[in-house]
Amino acid sequence: MLVTSLVCGSPAWAEPSAASTARSPSSASAERVPEASEWLHRIRQAAIQRSYQGTLVVTGSGGVSSSRVAHVVQGSRRTERIDALAGEAHSLVRQDGITRSVWPHKQMVIEEAHDRQVLFPGLPDEADERVLTWYELRPVGTDRVAGHDAIVLSLQARDPLRFSFRLWVERHSHLLLRLDTLDANSQTLESTAFSDLTLDVRPTPSSRPGDWPAAWRHYRVVRSVHQDTQLAQEGWALKALPPGFRQVSCSRRTLTPGGSAHPHPVLQAMFSDGLAHVSLFVESGAPPGPAQESRHVLGATHMLRTHVEGHWLTVVGDVPPETLRRFVTALERKPR
């Protein structure tokens, strides 16, 4: 689900910040209340089927970032574009199964096919009924976000291995307007929300998100190559996953950091409980001797890096540190 930073402050769209201050759903009481699994399906489908554009603001770890987002559906074709409004200029364009990250200052485009990452306001394909084994979903009120009426939902974690969430869902389209990630004390770790949003946009010839500025067409293209594989094929095994998590992909990727001419192979496995995601990266070249760990946190995203039998192991996810620790201790090197 997503990250970044701009200027501190408490923008008007962020009030109120807790479900306890959301309006009671009095006017909605006469409406049929969808089942929990139906809510997840509606939110996921709205992000796929509706066209929209707006400004997305992310707050967390004392920082704020913003991006301009456009998502256009034309028949069976979907195009998505995200332009960073702070920090180094860069854009992300997804179209026809290909993701392109554009870096104007480097005059470089990083191209990747079959990118499985789901960005706000989408929900993962795995967000189905099994999510309700690990989270309790219930409506807790109504509110307004970016000028749109919203129903506020609580997704309360049933154990300490995952964070809880609060969702603001547009009343009519069911598009996700805002997502807060909460710790065990219900404190907000990270909030992602639209500050302005237009639904059902119709692109003009000059504003289609997939149309590339002329300058981009001359940038150097760097392709990230990946091949599907399995951990066992690569000489690794997981003794036991944390409860609720399943492997959703495993691939060997060839990266070119900073556009380097020297390819850098990385093994990546992705896991999900239907909402939270954990990525496990394995790289060769770690030094011998006792493992030296490093930890980092940004908003709701935690990272743990260590080394195992001559390989660097990096685990990243929007989960508590203990969950990452369980992935690390479960991974074993096996003879190939």
Q: Which CATH number do you get for residue 256?
A: 3.30.200.100
Q: Which domain holds residue 190?
A: 12-199
3-class DSSP state of 226: strand
Same domain, 27 and 123: yes
Which region holds residue 166: left if phi is over 0, alpha if psi is between -120 and 50, else beta?
beta
pLDDT score recorded for residue 87: 87
Q: Where does residue 182 fall: left (phi above 0), alpha (psi -120 to 50 degrees), or beta otherwise? A: beta
Whether 219 and 102 have beta carbons less than 8 Å apart is answered as yes
Question: What CATH number should be reported for the domain holding residue 133?
Answer: 2.50.20.10
Same domain, 156 and 240: no
47 with 103, same domain: the answer is yes
Residue 140 CB-half CA count within 13 A: 17
Spatial separation of the C-alpha atoms in residues 216 and 106, rounded to whole Å: 11
On whether both 180 and 270 belong to a single domain, the answer is: no
Q: What is the pLDDT of residues 86-143, one digit of tens each?
A: 888 999 998 878 889 999 999 999 888 766 677 889 888 777 788 899 999 999 999 9
Is residue 313 situated within a structural domain? yes
Beta pairing, strands 108-113 & 220-228: parallel
Q: Phi/psi class of residue 273: alpha, beta or left (left: φ > 0; alpha: ψ in -120 to 50)? A: alpha
Q: Are strands 331-333 and 236-238 parallel, antiparallel or unpaired?
A: antiparallel
Please tell me whether residues 101 and 36 are part of one structural domain.
Answer: yes
β-strands 188-199, 52-60: how paired? antiparallel
For 135, the token pair is: 């989270």
Of 26-30, 47-51, 279-283, 317-321, minimum mean pLDDT range: 26-30
User: Is residue 328 within 8 Å of 321, Cβ to Cβ?
Assistant: no
Whether residue 240 is found in the same domain as residue 315: yes
Task: Give the residue with greater pLDDT, 256 vs 191.
Answer: 191
| Domain annotation covers residue 132 | yes
Specify the number of domains making up the chain: 2
- How far is it, in rounded angstroms, from Cα 184 to Cα 82? 31
Beta-bridge partners for 244:
none
Pair (235, 95) in one structural domain:
no
If one compares 65 and 61, the residue with the highest pLDDT of the two is: 65
What's the pLDDT score for residue 16?
33
How far, rounded to the nearest angstrom, does the alpha carbon of residue 183 sit from its chain's CA centroid? 17
Instruction: Say if residue 257 is in the same domain as residue 116.
Output: no
The answer on 64 and 166 residing in a single domain is yes
The last residue of one of the domains, among 150, 184, 199, is 199
Instruction: Quick: pLDDT tens for 227-249.
Output: 899 999 999 999 889 999 999 99
The answer to whether residue 5 is domain-embedded is no
How far does the chain reach from its first CA to its final CA, in angstroms? 35
pLDDT band for 66, please (50, 70, 90 cuts).
very high
What pLDDT band is residue 28 in, cutting at 50, 70 and 90? very low
Q: Where among 159, 183, 199 does a domain terminate?
A: 199
Q: Are the CB atoms for 197 and 50 separated by under 8 Å?
A: no
Report if residue 222 sits inside a domain. Answer: no
CB count within 10 Å of CB 10 equals 10
pLDDT tops 50 at residue 19: no
* 171 in any annotated domain: yes
Tell me what the mean pLDDT of segment 153-168 comes to: 97
Asked if residues 279 and 319 have their Cβ atoms less than 8 Å apart, the reply is no
Give the tens place of pLDDT for each residue, 75-94: 888 889 999 998 889 999 98
Residue 31 lies in a domain: yes
Q: Considering Cα of 277, then 223, then 305, then 120, what sign does the dihedral take?
A: negative
| CB atoms near residue 212 (< 10 Å) | 14
Residues 309 and 175 occupy one common structural domain: no
pLDDT at 35: 84
In a domain, 170, yes or no: yes
Last residue of a domain, one of 147, 182, 199: 199
189 and 102 within one domain: yes
Asked if the structure places residue 59 within a domain, the reply is yes
Q: Which of 26, 23, 42, 44 is nearest to 34 (CA)?
A: 42
Q: What is the pTM of this model?
A: 0.82
The pLDDT assigned to 287 comes to: 65
Distance between CA atoms of residues 236 and 328, nearest Å: 12
Query: Residue 265's pLDDT is what?
Result: 83
Contact 256, 232 (CB under 8 A): no
**Maximum Cα–Cα distance for the chain, whole Å?**
66
234 and 172, same domain (yes or no):
no
Higher pLDDT, 67 or 211: 67
